[in-house]
Amino acid sequence: MEYIINNLDQTLLIELYKNLLKPRMIEEKMLVLLRQGKISKWFSGIGQEAISVGITMALDKEEYILPMHRNLGVFTTRKIPLYRLFSQWQGKASGFTKGRDRSFHFGAQHYKIVGMISHLGPQLGVADGIALASKLKDKNSVTAVFTGEGGTSEGDFHEALNIASVWQLPVLFCIENNGYGLSTPASEQYNCKDLADRGLGYGMESHIIDGNNILEVYTKVSEIAKSVRENPRPVLIEFKTFRMRGHEEASGTKYVPDELMNEWAKKDPILNYEVFLKQNGFISDEDIHALKESITHEIEEHLKVTFEEEDIIPNETDELNDLFQNFKYQEVKHNTETKEIRFIDAISESLKQSMELHKDLVIMGQDIAEYGGAFKITEGFLEQFGKDRVRNTPICESGIVETAMGLSIAGMKSVVEMQFADFVSSGFNPIVNYLAKSHYRWGQNADVVIRMPCGGGVGAGPFHSQTNEAWFTKAPGLKVVYPAFPYDAKGLLATAINDPNPVLFFEHKALYRSIRQDVPEDYFTLPFGKASMIKKGSQITVITFGAAVHWALETLNKNPNVSADLINLRTLQPLDTETIYASVKKTGRAIILQEDSLFGGIASDISALILENCFEYLDAPVKRVASMETPIPFAPQLEQQYLPKNRFENTLLELLAY
């Protein structure tokens, strides 16, 4: 292995060696503890240390790094106290996730490190968001994100590279090509010689670096990072290396040919660099011995702290309270000036006024800039707020949600428009596994609102008409808002943007231009978790939301002899159970109307809650009315049959007659 010193001084050469040695010695100790049953799992980075250490030392301390589970050298080079790492791996409170996640599935804002999730790909798009924030704030900094060669097969990799290239984001995409995705060799992962060649397809500069040569890694990444700071752009870097142990220790390495293991053993990044330093008089055997003794002592002292730390005592309140970042709702009252506007105008006004209030708010979506969005909600925004804050996106829902998460990590707010709520399925993973879980896992909020134009009644068929709120009410860590009137839409969207937690904001397309209401002209907010009582009565409680509120109103107006409480939920997570229970206890009957198909919808949960909490007050079974158990059809007569509007009246009258 050839080492080229260039202008590196002895102090830096020795520092590189120290930073290489520490993660190797920690790993060797962890392998012993694993065999002793004192840690549960270990993903080894032995043989790959030069990549983690070289990249981390090439970056400034304030520049973000998004590592994976073989990048212990990132954490140790950023000088995270070892006892905190050891406690993390043992599930103790001094770790970074309060025992809620393991290994390197955590982040640490103080050290500008954002750890992985097991789905691997989403962190690539998150790096885009952090880099976008850097670019918008003129920070002249780079963001480095790691992936393995196996992870490059995921769609998130391609979406992240495409976004970074189109927006010229200062991201170093670092591929650790270690030859195997678990046991699957690279030849079965991709059909090209070098992954760096993929950069060409995205109009992106790319490099191949010997990942086992610490001087090459440090020198070349330093040069690239310096260039990217001066001329922001993404760069794809493939590091050729090898994994000397199994995917994780239980996997072993029997699938690797012996000759290949022997070949790479000769390229050990630490042993070769150590020989080079000794031969050139930069370090002596005595120096090496003293350094190893010092690291051993540090490891043992910090392990002692972790072993002596008490196990976490489960506390249900703490668990529930950590699901969301604390948000103290602040009511903003409106003045008396109102004007009659449509539902769609209320959304647009609220979004515009929030953009004026929050100078760091970025909105992103397909066709939202010059075109003004598929429904023209953001028409004129580009002229008022500029292209930095009103951003057309490529068609890549997953990557844009991840970018929004990265903006939040960097301290910025964002609103993402799904062109249709149906398309959110292409971004489902980062919403339910990244946005929803981040605050609970390591205290990082996701300050993201996802706007969801949804619903039927417009003849748009199976892929443009779904009302899929139940996909998200099931995912702890998400808030779900579903207004039915312009007034509610305007006030609730303002609150959603103020809230530092992830919010799914459903906007029924059939209401956009059909519903009008007098709405305050100025900015105001409405609280989450507070339903509105549209009608009051004594015979029955009708619980609903979205367009179904208007169906229920139409039915009740058609039947003036029915005395009903009509509850418009407005938010589904949090849910106003207090209003529901009080009404049901008064009327003794309850019917829940939803547009979604019946099985697995939120009506089922509301029904169960009523039965569990109001059973002794009921005079009849709780009834649910919903759409048919099919995808939503296109033809008007089929769609009319599918939707529950016409079935609701019969069920309501049957329940009253029970």
**Average pLDDT over every residue of 50-68:** 97
Nearest to 390 by CA among 371, 417, 368: 368
Q: Are the C-beta atoms of residues 462 and 551 closer than 8 Å to each other?
A: no
The 3-state DSSP class for residue 491 equals helix
Selecting among 158, 247, 464, 508, the annotated active-site residue is: 464
> How is residue 430 written in tokens?
């980062």
pLDDT tens digits for range 119-137: 989 999 999 999 999 999 9
Nearest to 12 by CA among 211, 224, 219: 219
Would the pLDDT of 117 be above 70?
yes
Exposure on the CB side of residue 460, measured as CA atoms within 13 A: 17
Q: H or E element: which one contains 514?
A: none
Q: Helix 285-308 crosses helix 10-35 at what angle (to 10 degrees)?
A: 50
Burial 533-572 (b: 16+ CB within 10 A, else e): ebbebebbbbbbbbbbbbbbbebbeeeeebebbbbbbbbb
Q: Are the C-beta atoms of residues 143 and 131 closer than 8 Å to each other?
A: yes
Query: 45 or 425: which carries more pLDDT confidence?
Result: 425
**Average pLDDT over every residue of 401-409:** 98
Query: Which DSSP letter does residue 314 get?
Result: P
**Average pLDDT over every residue of 595-599:** 97
Place of tokens 């998150």: 126
As a whole number of angstroms, the distance between CA 273 and CA 428 comes to 45
> How is residue 461 written in tokens?
């068929």
Query: 150 or 400: which carries more pLDDT confidence?
Result: 400
As a whole number of angstroms, the distance between CA 119 and CA 153 comes to 12
Query: Which DSSP letter does residue 312 get?
Result: P
Query: 45 or 583: which carries more pLDDT confidence?
Result: 583
- The full DSSP string for 417-446 is E-SSGGGGGGGHHHIIIIITTHHHHHS---
For the chain, give the mean pLDDT. Answer: 95
- The full DSSP string for 333-377 is ---S-EEEEEHHHHHHHHHHHHHHH-TT-EEEETT-SSS--TTST
pLDDT at residue 171, as a whole number: 98
As a whole number of angstroms, the distance between CA 225 and CA 62 comes to 13
pLDDT tens digits for range 34-57: 888 887 778 888 999 999 999 999
**How many residues would you count in the chain?**
658
Q: How confident is the model at residue 1 (pLDDT cuts 50, 70, 90)?
A: confident
pLDDT at residue 190, as a whole number: 82
> How is residue 513 written in tokens?
């231009």
CA separation (Å) from 118 to 87, 105, 129, 201, 548? 20, 8, 19, 27, 39
**Average pLDDT over every residue of 93-121:** 93
Phi/psi at 642 (5° precision)? -65, -45
Tell me the whole-structure pTM to 2 decimals.
0.95
| Number of C-beta neighbours around residue 619 at 10 A | 11
CA-based R_g, the chain, Å = 28
Would the pLDDT of 186 be above 80?
no
The alpha-helical segments, DSSP class H, found in 42-151 are 49-58, 72-77, 82-89, 122-136
The 3-state DSSP class for residue 209 equals strand
Would the pLDDT of 187 be above 90?
no
Would the pLDDT of 588 be above 90?
yes
As a whole number of angstroms, the distance between CA 142 and CA 120 comes to 21
**Average pLDDT over every residue of 110-123:** 93
As a whole number of angstroms, the distance between CA 57 and CA 74 comes to 9
Q: H or E element: which one contains 28?
A: helix 10-35
Place of tokens 């305050």: 520
Would the pLDDT of 183 be above 80?
no
Exposure on the CB side of residue 490, measured as CA atoms within 13 A: 28
Q: Are the C-beta atoms of residues 449 and 415 closer than 8 Å to each other?
A: yes
CA 587, chain centre distance (Å): 42
Question: Which of 56-70, 142-156, 256-270, 517-531 is predicted least confidently?
Answer: 256-270
Q: How confident is the model at residue 184 (pLDDT cuts 50, 70, 90)?
A: confident
**Average pLDDT over every residue of 293-320:** 96
The alpha-helical segments, DSSP class H, found in 59-210 are 72-77, 82-89, 122-136, 155-166, 198-201
The 3-state DSSP class for residue 508 equals strand
297 is catalytic: no
Q: Are the C-beta atoms of residues 390 and 356 closer than 8 Å to each other?
A: no
pLDDT tens digits for range 210-268: 999 999 999 999 999 999 999 999 999 999 998 877 666 666 677 778 787 788 788 99
pLDDT at residue 199, as a whole number: 95
Q: Helix 122-136 crosses helix 155-166 at what angle (to 10 degrees)?
A: 10
Nearest to 413 by CA among 367, 355, 366, 373: 355
pLDDT at residue 256, as a whole number: 73
CA separation (Å) from 221 to 50, 56, 65, 225, 271? 12, 9, 13, 6, 22
Q: Are the C-beta atoms of residues 496 and 505 closer than 8 Å to each other?
A: yes
Percent of residues in the chain assigned helix, strand, coil, to nearest 5: 45, 15, 40
Question: Which of 32-46, 514-528, 606-620 is predicted least confidently?
Answer: 32-46
pLDDT at residue 249, as a whole number: 64
